[in-house]
């Protein structure tokens, strides 16, 4: 399964963006899908993740502003970003992880989409 992220852009502080991560295959069997971001000169950090049961987790810095979701029919994951701040600027990557009962694992990264928030 390959991942294709899109939806980034330039937005003013306080604005909104919706990122999409389209998968080339069935996401229903994927254990965890997530969004990470990387600001210039900084390490990649987890923004939000969603499990197979749709349980979600968020970085403290985005709680209450971002919402992660997925649509198994469209094989797409989303990140709705509201009340954006300049510190949300970075390249956003989607990620998928699966583990089988045998212990075998698989993961995949999307190519990234740039989000720039101006003050």
Kindly report, residue by residue over 53-96, the tens digit of the pLDDT. Answer: 999 999 999 999 999 999 999 999 999 999 999 999 999 999 99
Separation CA 106–CA 103 (nearest Å): 10
Closest CA to 96 of 77, 79, 80: 77
Strands (E) located in 31-119: 32-38, 45-51, 56-58, 66-71, 76-81, 90-99, 105-109, 113-118
Tens of pLDDT, residues 6-57: 999 999 999 999 999 999 999 999 999 999 999 999 999 999 999 999 999 9
């Amino acid at each position: 399964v390959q991942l294709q992220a899109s939806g980034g852009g330039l937005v003013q502080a306080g604005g909104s963006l919706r990122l999409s991560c389209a998968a080339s295959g069935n996401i229903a069997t994927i254990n965890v899908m997530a969004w990470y971001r990387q600001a210039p000169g900084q390490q990649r950090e987890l923004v939000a993740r969603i499990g197979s049961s749709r349980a979600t987790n968020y970085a403290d810095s985005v709680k209450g502003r971002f919402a992660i979701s997925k649509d198994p029919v469209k094989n797409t994951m989303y990140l709705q970003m509201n009340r954006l701040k300049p510190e949300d600027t970075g390249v956003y990557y989607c990620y998928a992880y699966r583990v089988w009962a045998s212990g075998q694992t698989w993961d995949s990264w999307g190519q990234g989409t740039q989000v720039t928030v101006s003050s």
